[in-house]
Amino acid sequence: MDTYDKLDSLDTEQLRTVIRWTLTDLDNAANSSNYNKLDDKVKGWCAMLKEAVEHQINKAYKVNDTWYEEE
């Protein structure tokens, strides 16, 4: 079973948990002093990936919000 199949098998709460863990890990890697061994380039990539995940969440939220307004 590949990662996409596993993702498709998760329920809503499990998906939320995975996204929260991902955002936390990316934020920690980008900003935490506990990740001193990471160079600035890696920290920058982590920050960019966190922003990309947040953007996708906001985009999906906006679609849902617009859909509710139209009803």
The Cβ of residue 65 has, within 10 Å, a number of other Cβ atoms equal to 10
Confidence of residue 67 (pLDDT cuts 50, 70, 90): low
Instruction: State the pLDDT at residue 69.
Output: 58
Instruction: State the pLDDT at residue 33.
Output: 79
Q: What does the alpha-carbon distance between residue 66 and residue 9 come to, in Å, rounded to a whole number?
A: 28
pTM (2 decimals)? Answer: 0.78
Confidence of residue 37 (pLDDT cuts 50, 70, 90): confident
Instruction: For 10-38, give one letter per residue: b (16+ CB within 10 A) or e.
Output: eeeeeeeeeeeeeeeebeebbeeeeeeee
- Sorted by where each begins, the domain ranges of the chain are 16-70
Higher pLDDT, 14 or 70: 14
